[in-house]
Structure 1
Amino acid sequence: MTENTGPHTAGSEYAEPFLLAVLASGGLDAEYVRGERNTLYRRGENGEEVPVTDFVGGYGSLMLGHNHPEINAYAKELLDGGTPVHAQFSRHPYANDVAAALNRIVQRERGDDESYYAIFANSGAEANEAAMKHAELDRGLRLAALAEEIDGHITEVTVRVADGTAVLPAGSADSVEELAAEVRRRNEAQFARPPLFLVPEGGFHGKLAGSVQLTHNEGYRLPFRALAAQARFVPRDQPGALRKIVEEERAKVLDLTVEGGEVQLVERDFPLFTAFVLEPVLGEGGIHELTPAFAQEVQQVCAETGIPLVIDEIQTGMGRTGTFLAATRLGLKGDYYTLAKSLGGGIAKAAVMLVRRPLYRGQFELAHSSTFAKDSFSCLVALKVLELLEAGDGAVYRTAAERGERMLAMLRAVRDEFPEVVKDVRGRGLMVGLEFHDQSEAAAEPLRQVARSGFFGYFVAGHMLRAHRIRVFPTSSAVNTLRFEPSVYLTDEEIGRLETSLRDVCAIIRDTDGGSLAPVA
């Protein structure tokens, strides 16, 4: 029998002990006991609650803040009413309501009547995996149809040569059987090629076996390279780079036709690319918004080549950048959209993959499933979230844009005061980043050590937490960039507290040896 040691197990750490040690090294191993709006509360030395202003926002999951009272009250009502969480393989009208609401919103933002079917999931990474799998299923079915069509043509040509209604061209194979065998041999090599995905450099789409291969950061991707389809990463600042990559990887298969009574060997396009997957604003890659020029090139190339476009709105969507979809401002229109994070209102694990109706493959619903997806609780909470976002003709979206501009203005003022410390400020709405100059060659040895540790942003975040009760984190693939993703209820006072903490950090980097950024052991 295992001894029950109460709410905190005594002795060794068993829950991700390495990560806990990393957090401790940066002074970030705080335990939070309560949250509301943009505030988390940690327990002080005497047991009192210590407020911490939270600019992490659940990595974009808290558009409506911690413990939104309407969402919590509704969740309690659902649970008290015994709403079924496990009623798989049955009718789910609440899921259909979420899908219908999302269709209305997406159609409004796209400015068309394109409709989407929905596959539900528990997390953003799972929604991305669903999009990857559906796109590959679609590609596989198109490949099968192409192979069947070519095989039919080969059979037809063989019959026509045999009955004398078609002849082989001069200088070709000695027999139609030999020509057919060569076509099949060369096509088999092409059909055996593994698929490829296209992703912008700096992209991040999760850490599951498939989605991690779409993540540009090699530290996350390369250890698992053998497990899933690979990606070609496209430079965002090189016009024409996408077209060049597509041309380099362009694949052809051979087909036989008859023209004017003569057999012709023709090339057919082979769909090697499963999809192009992108975030309108690169989150973990350092808060970089795609340029309109790059977005236009992606849209054009995908349309010309028939490559499906998957728009990952998991961190950028739900109004965070001032519109429900961050792709709206860029004019991007996806064949797929993935949504999660704030869709769950900060309490439910809700995610969805939307796929454009003409591309939809119904058999995917039997090939892909998830135990907790599409349940009553998460779907009804998601509906409440959408209701709150859309209320007042989208007042939340306008507030996000206004509050974001106020935060950006403050960050730009800090940059202008400390140009030797702050390299850039960027972002849109309530998804903003501040990038520090690389300090790995700083004159002061303590500052150089912090910068060369690979955890610079985490040490900065630790100082801001200890000294100012401000909670921030760097982006995972660009650790010199701090990310700020608070809720729409961000106040001027909270922005002021962030400003004070950043000015302190910048002064430490500029004026001292930087030793105070690392916690005292």
Structure 2
Amino acid sequence: MGIDLSREATNEQKHNVTDYINKVLNLIEKEQISEEEAAWITKETVDGFREHVNPGFLAYRKTVTKDGQFAAVEWSDNGACFKDVNGKEYIDCLGGFGIYNVGHRNPKVVKAVTDQLKRQALHSQDLLDPLRAILAKILADITPGDLKYAFFTNSGTESVEAALKLAKMYSERTTFISTTRAFHGKSLGSLSGTAKGMFRKPFLPLIPGFRHVPFGDIDMMRKTFEVCTSVGEDVAAVILEPIQGEGGIILPPENYLKGVRELCDQFGALLIFDEVQTGMGRTGKMFAADLYEVVPDIICLAKAFGGGVMPAGAIVAKEEVFKSWFPNPFMHTTTFGGNPLACAAAIATIGVLIEEKLPERAAEVGGYFLEELQEAAKGHEDKVLEIRGKGLMIGIEFHKDEIGYEVSKGMFDLGVLVAGTLINSKTIRIEPALTISYEEVDKVVSTFKQVLSTVKE
């Protein structure tokens, strides 16, 4: 009988994979790693990104860091900071694009998830899972106005997809109004509402029926409603971010959001607030809807909703809107949305936000942060166009993209992580944990001031 060489090769390959897995799991288990182990992790990470993830990430990191630091590999985190695999600590002002509102590895959130994991990780999909019901009740209590029913997702783009589908079922209308510089995600439905052409063009045609109007222009919004009505394309919903995040931390003009609410009521359209980035205390209120005293028909949540520990998202809608899903709850589903671990994380996160008054703290610390950054930028008006924000959602806009890149590089080299926004490259965001200390704020400001003085126009 001949030897099956292919089978032997396969068995050897499996053996190698098993050894590799065990080595990695042993490293994960360690509280401290050696310099040799750190070097091995760095090499495996860089090689893995180049050969098996996407080499584009390596090229990107080179453009926003100095020298060889593009290979910085994150390894641990706590509070408002994270450490790379070599032990260097960074103040995190990117915050995973705004997911660490209650801090990195908040102990109460970690405990809730760990406790739930000891009992049950995922649900059967058929029986009634208690934490989903409990979290939905909590959301009904804390969200604005008469928002009542919740559907749970795993991410922001999924929340937007759910909101768009719910709006379509509610009225059977198919026209949506979004805004310029909007970012709602990158799956096909949410991408249809997103504004940046670079993200959209390769995937055209997208979902039909989307119109984009300038953010903040209530007259153009009104005219678009009128035109849509006149040609028989009645608007199902307006979707917008109360404060545009990826667009460059763009604040709405005074009474703009109230004006949009009035137009939606006048024309029988729904108002969807994408609070994936602005929600969960970021802007100084639990939701930006509270900040501007406007109640949407549907609110989209994610990012910080899982406490920086679990991927989690949700939409919460008024009963009149949500009831179109009552006859068949399987019209829109997700396997992992609302799983026990995610719900435990979200419940604990909301508890921390309320108990520790983190939205109020975001308003207070954010006001101080904004003023200090504006003071630090004085004398550099040739480089800095504007510094603006609400709470701990702050944008620093430069006159040129290149200045923003250089400032990001310099700050990273000195232990502060910032990054540009996806739609507006000239603006870098400041979105730290809402638990960031005044001492850490002062360090970020002094670093910004130091770097700004060395950057050329």
1:370 aligns with 2:334: yes
Superposed, 1:450-489 pairs within 5 Å as 451=402, 457-466=404-413, 468-489=414-435
Once the two structures are TM-superposed, the CA of residue 271 in structure 1 deviates from its matched residue by 5.4
1:131 aligns with 2:131: no
Once the two structures are TM-superposed, the CA of residue 379 in structure 1 deviates from its matched residue by 0.8
In structure 1, what residue type is equivalent to 2:162?
A
Work out which of the two has the higher radius of gyration on C-alpha atoms and give 1 or 2: 1
Corresponding position of 1:187: none
Superposed, 1:98-177 pairs within 5 Å as 98-106=135-143, 109-110=144-145, 114-140=146-172
Name the SS for the 2:329 alignment partner.
helix
Once the two structures are TM-superposed, the CA of residue 226 in structure 1 deviates from its matched residue by 1.1
Conserved 8 A contact 1:415-1:423 = no
In structure 1, what residue type is equivalent to 2:308?
G
- 1:382 paired residue among 346, 350, 354: 346
- 2:220 paired residue among 232, 237, 241: 241
Corresponding position of 1:62: 100
Name the SS for the 1:62 alignment partner.
coil
TM superposition score normalised by structure 2: 0.86
For the residues of structure 2 that align with 1:21 and 1:241, how far apart are their CA atoms? 40
Name the SS for the 2:432 alignment partner.
coil
1:415-465, CA deviations, whole angstroms, 9 ceiling, x for partnerless residues? 3232221110111001111111127xxxxxxxxxxx3xxxx5344312211
> In terms of mean alpha carbon deviation, does 239-248 or 282-291 score higher?
239-248
For the residues of structure 2 that align with 1:220 and 1:363, how far apart are their CA atoms? 36
Once the two structures are TM-superposed, the CA of residue 57 in structure 1 deviates from its matched residue by 1.0
Corresponding position of 2:59: 21
Once the two structures are TM-superposed, the CA of residue 93 in structure 1 deviates from its matched residue by 2.0
Name the SS for the 2:378 alignment partner.
helix
Corresponding position of 2:305: 343
Superposed, 1:439-450 pairs within 5 Å as none
Superposed, 1:204-283 pairs within 5 Å as 204-251=183-230, 270=232, 272-283=234-245
1:69-126, CA deviations, whole angstroms, 9 ceiling, x for partnerless residues? 121122222212x3241311220221111111111112xx44xxx2421111000110
**Percent identical across equivalent pairs?**
29
Query: Closer, same or farther in 2 for the Cα pair 1:130/1:237, shift >3 Å?
Result: closer
1:141-172, CA deviations, whole angstroms, 9 ceiling, x for partnerless residues? xx6xxxxxxxxxxxxxxxxxxxxxxxxxxxxx
1:405 aligns with 2:356: no
Corresponding position of 2:393: 431
> In terms of mean alpha carbon deviation, does 412-421 or 471-480 score higher?
412-421
Conserved 8 A contact 2:218-2:260 = no
Corresponding position of 1:448: none
Corresponding position of 1:298: 260
Conserved 8 A contact 1:415-1:424 = no
Once the two structures are TM-superposed, the CA of residue 198 in structure 1 deviates from its matched residue by 0.8
Once the two structures are TM-superposed, the CA of residue 30 in structure 1 deviates from its matched residue by 1.8
Once the two structures are TM-superposed, the CA of residue 29 in structure 1 deviates from its matched residue by 4.1
1:37 aligns with 2:79: yes
TM superposition score normalised by structure 1: 0.76
Conserved 8 A contact 1:137-1:364 = no
For the residues of structure 2 that align with 1:233 and 1:364, how far apart are their CA atoms? 32
Once the two structures are TM-superposed, the CA of residue 239 in structure 1 deviates from its matched residue by 4.2
1:36-58, CA deviations, whole angstroms, 9 ceiling, x for partnerless residues? 011110133xxxx1111110111
Once the two structures are TM-superposed, the CA of residue 282 in structure 1 deviates from its matched residue by 0.2
For the residues of structure 2 that align with 1:465 and 1:89, how far apart are their CA atoms? 48
Name the SS for the 1:423 alignment partner.
strand
For the residues of structure 2 that align with 1:34 and 1:364, how far apart are their CA atoms? 44
Corresponding position of 2:247: 285
For the residues of structure 1 that align with 2:216 and 2:105, how far apart are their CA atoms? 40
Corresponding position of 2:113: 75
In structure 1, what residue type is equivalent to 2:77?
G
In structure 2, what residue type is equivalent to 1:495?
V
In structure 1, what residue type is equivalent to 2:376?
V
